[in-house]
Amino acid sequence: MAEISDSPPESRPVEENTQTQITDSISELDSKTMRKTKPGVKRLIMTLTVLVSFILLSPLLLKSIEIYRAPLPFDEIDSFSSKIESNRLLFPCGFRAIFVGFNFRVSNYEVGEVIRSKMSELSLGGSRCGCSNDYSVSAVLDLADAEVNAVDFGGKLRENDEEADEMVKRLVNVYGEEKVYSVVVVNGEEEVKAVVGKYRHAWILGKVSEEDAVVRVAEIFSKVFVNGGSKDGLIHNEFMPVGADGRIVLSFSLLNTDPQDWVYDWDFSEIDEALLQPVIQALQPIADVTVESQVLYHTPKASFSYWDDEHGSHIFTAQDLPFFVNSNEWHLDTSVAAGGRSKVLQLVVFHVPSTKSCPTSPWLFGACPRLTDLGPSKSIILQACIRYIPSAKECPLQLELPNGDLSKTNGFISPMWGGVVVWNPQSCIKDVESKDLVRHKISPQDLQKLFEVLMGQIRQLLGLKSDDLYVGESGTSTLLGSERGFTEWELDFLSRKHFCFNLLSCATTLKSLSKLVQSLPRMIIMDEIGKQVTFSLEAAKSAQINASVGMYDASAVSSRQSRTLAEDAFFHPSIMSISYYSFEHCFAIYSPFFLPVIMHILLAALREWKRYKQENRKYLAWKAKAKAAS
Amino acid sequence: MALASTTTLALSILFLLPFLSSATVEEEFHEELLLKPLPDRKVLAHFHFQTEAPVAEDSFARHHHLFPKSISQLVKKFHIKAMELSFTQGRWNYERWGGLDPISSQNAKPPGVELWAVFDVPQHQVDAFWKNLTHSLSGLFCASINFLESSSSYSAPKWASQSALGSLRYGTLPREAVCTENLTPWLKLLPCRDKAGLSALMDRPSIYRSFYHSQRLHLKASMAPADGLDSGIILEQTLTVVQQPNIQKTDLSFSNEFKIQPSWSLSSIFGRKVNGRCVLAKSSNVYLQVERDLVAQLEKLQKKTATYADNDTGIDVLRGDLGFEVSITPDRVHRELEKSSSILYEYSIKEYNDTEQFDLGLTWKYPVVWSCPLAPLYASRFLIGSGNERGSIAISLKSTELTKGFIVANNVEEKCKLQVNVLQIVPWYIKVYYHTLQLLVDGKPQAATDFIERMSVSPSEDKVSTGVMELVLRFPCEIKSAILNIEFDKGFLHIDEYPPDANQGFDIPSAIISFPDFHAGLQFSDDSISKSPMMSKLQEKSPVLSYTEVLLVPLTTPDFSMPYNVITITCTVFALYFGSLLNVLRRRVGEEERLLKANKAPFLQQVINKLSSRFRGGLSESTQPKQPSSSFITPKLIIKIILVAGLAVVWQFYLK
């Protein structure tokens, strides 16, 4: 092989030789500086061809070792997320104020304008979510036909809030659309009373001046209807405890700290059917809610409490709360049924362990020096003893608020995790004599009470107020509760927030996905991810369009969809597997071949090029000489 | 194949069990512990926890009081009819610890993880449900059960269960290491966890120091109340531990200390005492079982040492006059129905608490030697052959004492037959040739068809499914030994199919040998004892079952850096070839020589140039015939040298 390939180049030098011999004979020639013949380009062309073909083939090679990446709409993602971040996600909201028995000297329009300006004042800076700032406020002064007597009407409204609510609803419906938030102000002689109803209206009764009325109406509009009655607005409330797949699992656990003392059980399926189902129905547009419950035993808390004489109970303070939940012993468990990325909200009823009554242990007698000082009452004696029990036997257990008061609900929430209620049994003394296990059932009344607290916690977790009073700058209003747990205006508020939260989280997810994909050039991206991203963007767009025309349900659905799709794309199983065929690997495999070969080719091409230039110069020199000679 | 549809294979016991407890209206929990001295100076402790829950229409898997939520949700989500998961470390010693009693048939498990499940879904969905279940379980129990997901690691035995035909899946992971991280989630399913009750005895170091421990979770759900059965779900959790008690040097009246059984107590075995029951348990009992043979031996001894006129054994037993003493007087004593019967002491731990702890102890008075009842045939399995190409698996069955007894019992009949069912599952890389199945009975080769009643084979498919062989054999009762032998080729795996540490070898899961004619079960007359879930479990008539050893097959394992080496060396060769070709192509030989002639180079350089030009080929030779320095290096000489070297090489490698 070598000989064959060698032979053709050989012929040329021989030829050259003969030529040079001939030229030598013609004229003496310095072979170092001149040559007569034109330098051959055969070798130069050959090496250059090889080099060029290598260069041309390298893209092909790169293409062959490329990994599949579905094209993602990076630009669209960027523009979408920047748009979401800069723009506000707002719904158009309508407001109407109805004044009965007032004598304004200005037109309806002007009153509306006054309320509007007051509202803008109150919603300082505005938030990114909620109602758009150009509130459309219409005011109705007096009832044109005076068919409703202010005094009569006021008197009726004063009697029963529930009935009044329905009455106001009828009155408001006279003015058309239901989606508009209304406040009815009825002038009267009695003291002022403000009530926010179950639907989308409120009423104010009593002796109010025109100016006051306007201020109060504006406050109810902007603070209650727009902001859901929470005082600090929406600053930290941009989180919704809804899973990426739009589901919430409410996991109720009853914790019996020490079953040796007593065991409490509950009949949760009753609560579930009777009380929770309406709530779940009400929350349907926001999330699919599923409920499950369990009873756990041997679950001590992780923080310490101390005995407080003043309150006659054990106290744990607000500082202890971060340590209260004992994740080692509380096997609350995520739900297998939920699967995927549903949000599990833990609602825990913490059951306080009993106190062993003193006579059981002689040691306790000895350790109670004030036993006799404390008087005849048995309960006092026992409590005195409790102070000396160093173990976790603590009953009753109370939560002390930072201001020194005891918590009424005796519970607390942890945002995005759930809530805990400490429940003290009625009597803290265990019957020592009975050895057998007594399984107490929490009575329906207690369960009802407990459920109210838990319901308040759920409301708080969703970002609503848990109590029924709104204390504003201009006065206090009563918030009427609904049997469904959430009133209509609260659901509106939740929908707005949910929509906003979904779009925000969708934007951040997509943004981080695009960042991730761009930062890892050797990551495989399936077509499915690309599809999910485009669909997510489309859903987000349609959600925004729906929101701009005030379609609550449709926007909530498509915003949820956009978030789900974005999360699906981000958590796609294939995205986790970064290609094993990393760049280092590729380099290691190809370099043993390409590195030496490319060096050879480059050097050869360089040499040939140099030589050709040199020879050409010689030839030119000879030519010039020949020319000169001729 | 469907001749004897009544015969069932290994796993059948698990499905044909009669339903426990007549009515499960409320969720219930039971805890029990069985202690049993073993002949080889060891003690068996068998914990049994049972949780039952009714299946209500809507509240099931949502609202629970005692039953673990995660398990009920698992049952609901994957439509599980029955399931068993076991984590085992160590091997049950069938020869010494017995093979006929219910504990060895039901609770002796192959090492590693064993999982089977029956699903209540259409056939085509079963595989999908199985895969999801393995993932959920591996999350729940902190184990790599998810390796059972791939279809080449599980199988669907056909005859194992008649009722669950097609919806049963079975898989094992022989190499799974079992440790506390598997026990903790298992304990989490108990309402009292290990905080109170009998489970508080589970001191991790003493459990994992044991000779054998197997933690098992058996789940049984009956969803349809229509067929006359209660709809309920029963979760049975057992932990079987075989431990060597520390020898208590209290009673050294016997000269030879090693012949006497070691006396033990709960605190010496586990290092802990029972501080009272789990208050949530409906029953919490401890049982001490004295085996048939041991009772017989002790009674014999007793007769020798002393003469008792009266036959009031009941009081003797209570007093502990039976050759050993128990530290606590039992609440009740149960005797088996038969003549030579085992004795069961029952202790209720309801009355014990922190101040008065329960610490059952057993002290031997005389040295005694006894043996456990063995399975009719002792099964073991081994590999034959060497090398990395082929081998064969042999399953040997040897007769034991029991078979002789069986012959005597069935002597009246003309033909006494002993039925043996074998289930062997092999991974696909062990390519079994089923036609090579050979049978040696009593050392002589016999036609396999004479003894095989039925045989079902589903050959393995490469990288897709495992091979399953199910055999129903019928041997004459007087058989002494039988060896089943089957040959196989070792397959090759793809480079990324090798597990870490591939040089260790590959495991062939245990074969399951069952004897459907024999039933493991104790028989007590007392009705009260049947109320206890563990005792009713022990009294069930279930076929005797034993697992063989796990086999370790060394497969050819490549040098895993080899592909890269090959790539590198080929690339280098190609690069060399390419480079030299390029060099040759652009060489100007004539010119070089002219230059060489022109400038009189020093001698050394001339030689070098000469040599290099010579290596490039003999072409330039003709142009420079007068070079004196290189006259002796002619191509002929080089050819001669190469020839000689080549001959030497050939001689060295081929003609030696």
C-alpha distance from A483 to closest chain B C-alpha (Å) = 23
Q: Which whole number is the average pLDDT over B567-580?
A: 86
- In the predicted model, is pLDDT for residue A344 greater than 80? no
- In the predicted model, is pLDDT for residue B433 greater than 90? yes
Q: What is the dihedral of CA B346, B350, B356, B361, to 10 degrees?
A: 20
Of B62, B567, B586, the CB nearest to A46: B586
The pLDDT tens digits of the residues spanning B100-131 come to 888 888 889 999 999 999 998 998 999 999 99
Contact A14 B192 (CB under 8 A): no
C-alpha distance from A270 to closest chain B C-alpha (Å) = 10
Which residues sit opposite B339 in a β-bridge?
none
Q: Does A615 touch chain B (CB under 8 A)?
A: no
Q: Count CB neighbours of A148 within 10 A.
A: 20
C-alpha distance from B326 to closest chain A C-alpha (Å) = 26
d(CA B545, CA B514): 4
Give chain B's mean pLDDT: 81
C-alpha distance from A437 to closest chain B C-alpha (Å) = 6
Residues in chain A: 630
Amino acid at B458: S
C-alpha distance from A576 to closest chain B C-alpha (Å) = 18
Give the best residue of B28, B31, B51, B65 to mutate against chain A (max A CB count within 10 A).
B65
d(CA B183, CA B210): 14
Amino acid at A521: P
Contact B574 A291 (CB under 8 A): no
Of A17, A292, A600, the CB nearest to B582: A600
Chain A residues 255-294 with a CB less than 8 Å from chain B: 259-260, 263, 265, 268-269, 272, 290-294
Give chain A's mean pLDDT: 73
Contact A455, A279 (CB under 8 A): yes
- The separation between CA A496 and the C-alpha centre of its own chain, rounded to angstroms, equals 14
C-alpha distance from A13 to closest chain B C-alpha (Å) = 5
C-alpha atoms less than 13 angstroms from C-alpha of A245 in its C-beta half-sphere: 14
Which SS3 state, helix, strand or coil, does residue B122 take? coil
Question: In chain B, which residues have their Cβ closer than 8 Å to the Cβ of A593?
Answer: 571-572, 574-575
Contact B586 A593 (CB under 8 A): no
Question: In chain B, which residues have their Cβ closer than 8 Å to the Cβ of A600?
Answer: 575, 578-579, 582-583
**Domains along chain B with CATH numbers:** 29-111+174-364 (no CATH), 377-553 (2.60.40.740), 600-655 (no CATH)
User: What percent of chain A is modeled with pLDDT above 90?
Assistant: 3
- The separation between CA A36 and the C-alpha centre of its own chain, rounded to angstroms, equals 84
Question: In chain B, which residues have their Cβ closer than 8 Å to the Cβ of A336?
Answer: 70, 73-74, 77, 136, 140
d(CA B167, CA B126): 6
Phi/psi region, residue A198 (left: phi>0; alpha: psi -120 to 50; beta: rest), is alpha
User: What percent of chain B is modeled with pLDDT above 90?
Assistant: 26
Contact A510, A80 (CB under 8 A): yes
Question: In chain B, which residues have their Cβ closer than 8 Å to the Cβ of A259?
Answer: 192, 196, 278-280
Q: How confident is the model at residue B45 (pLDDT cuts 50, 70, 90)?
A: very high
- In the predicted model, is pLDDT for residue A139 greater than 70? yes
Question: In chain A, which residues have their Cβ closer than 8 Å to the Cβ of B619?
Answer: 3, 6, 10
Lowest mean per-residue pLDDT among A332-346, A548-562, B63-77, B611-625: B611-625
Lowest mean per-residue pLDDT among A405-409, A556-560, B30-34, B333-337: A405-409
- In the predicted model, is pLDDT for residue B144 greater than 70? yes
- In the predicted model, is pLDDT for residue B526 greater than 80? no
Greatest alpha-carbon span in chain B: 133
Predicted TM-score of the model (pTM) = 0.78
C-alpha distance from A590 to closest chain B C-alpha (Å) = 8
Q: Count CB neighbours of A269 within 10 A.
A: 16
Helix (H) or strand (E) holding B344: strand B343-348
Contact B578 A600 (CB under 8 A): yes
Q: How confident is the model at residue B83 (pLDDT cuts 50, 70, 90)?
A: very high
Write the CB contacts of B582 (distance below 8 Å, at least 6 apart in sequence): A47, A50, A600, A601, A604
Q: What was the pLDDT predicted at A374? A: 26
Of A43, A260, A596, the CB nearest to B586: A43
Q: Which whole number is the average pLDDT over B172-184?
A: 91
The token pair that represents A315 in the structure block = 């106290």
| Pairing mode of beta strands B80-89, B112-119 | antiparallel
Select from B116, B281, B185, B183 the least CA-distant residue to A334.
B185
Strands (E), B151-211: 154-155, 168-173
- In the predicted model, is pLDDT for residue B20 greater than 60? no
Cα nearest neighbour of A590 on chain B: B571
C-alpha distance from A191 to closest chain B C-alpha (Å) = 49
- Check whether the bond before B174 is cis (ω within 30° of 0): no
Q: Which whole number is the average pLDDT over A565-569?
A: 88
C-alpha distance from B539 to closest chain A C-alpha (Å) = 29
Pick the most confident of A406-410, B111-115, B648-652: B111-115
Amino acid at B428: W
d(CA B125, CA A485): 41
A77 or B616, greater pLDDT: A77
Question: In chain B, which residues have their Cβ closer than 8 Å to the Cβ of A272?
Answer: 59, 62-63
To which residue do tokens 């002789």 refer? B404
Write the CB contacts of A122 (distance below 8 Å, at least 6 apart in sequence): A218, A219, A222, A223
Question: In chain B, which residues have their Cβ closer than 8 Å to the Cβ of A440?
Answer: none
Q: Is the dihedral of CA B497, B501, B502, B504 positive or negative?
A: negative
Distances (CA, A) of B302 to B36, B40, B294, B362: 21, 21, 12, 18
Of B69, B76, B588, the CB nearest to A333: B69
Question: In chain A, which residues have their Cβ closer than 8 Å to the Cβ of B564?
Answer: 588-589
Contact B21, B89 (CB under 8 A): no
Contact A263 B280 (CB under 8 A): yes
Cα-flanking dihedrals φ and ψ of residue B436, to 5°?
A: -85, 10
Q: How confident is the model at residue A471 (pLDDT cuts 50, 70, 90)?
A: confident
Contact A292 B588 (CB under 8 A): no
Distances (CA, A) of A117 to A18, A125, A223, B429: 107, 13, 14, 81
Q: What is the ipTM of this complex?
A: 0.74
Question: In chain B, which residues have their Cβ closer than 8 Å to the Cβ of A607?
Answer: 586
- In the predicted model, is pLDDT for residue A146 greater than 70? no
Q: What was the pLDDT predicted at B84? A: 94
To which residue do tokens 């069961």 refer? B344
Cα nearest neighbour of B599 on chain A: A32
Q: How confident is the model at residue A4 (pLDDT cuts 50, 70, 90)?
A: very low
d(CA B213, CA B349): 24
Considering just the CA atoms, what is the radius of gyration of chain A in Å?
Answer: 41
The pLDDT tens digits of the residues spanning A234-256 come to 444 556 777 777 778 888 888 88
Residue A406 burial class via C-beta count within 10 angstroms: exposed 0-12, middle 13-18, buried 19 and up: middle
Of B73, B579, B619, the CB nearest to A596: B579
* C-alpha triplet A462, A463, A465: angle, nearest 5°: 115
Question: In chain B, which residues have their Cβ closer than 8 Å to the Cβ of A10?
Answer: 589-590, 619
Question: In chain B, which residues have their Cβ closer than 8 Å to the Cβ of A596?
Answer: 572, 575-576, 579
Q: Is the dihedral of CA B407, B409, B415, B417 positive or negative?
A: negative
Q: Which whole number is the average pLDDT over A386-415?
A: 62
- In the predicted model, is pLDDT for residue B311 greater than 70? no
Contact A200, A184 (CB under 8 A): no
C-alpha distance from A337 to closest chain B C-alpha (Å) = 6
Contact B169, B78 (CB under 8 A): no
Give the best residue of A336, A431, A582, A603 to mutate against chain B (max B CB count within 10 A).
A336
Counting one residue from chain A and one from chain B, the pairs whose CB atoms sit within 8 A come to 144
Q: What was the pLDDT predicted at B603? A: 67
C-alpha distance from B451 to closest chain A C-alpha (Å) = 49
Greatest alpha-carbon span in chain A: 146
The token pair that represents B439 in the structure block = 């049978």
Contact B490, B391 (CB under 8 A): yes
B35 or A393, greater pLDDT: B35
Cα nearest neighbour of A255 on chain B: B65
Contact B572 A604 (CB under 8 A): no
Contact A336 B73 (CB under 8 A): yes
- In the predicted model, is pLDDT for residue B601 greater than 60? no
d(CA B552, CA B558): 18
Question: In chain B, which residues have their Cβ closer than 8 Å to the Cβ of A337?
Answer: 61-62, 73, 76-77
Q: How confident is the model at residue A385 (pLDDT cuts 50, 70, 90)?
A: very low
Give the best residue of B69, B129, B137, B219 to mutate against chain A (max A CB count within 10 A).
B69
d(CA A97, CA A183): 5
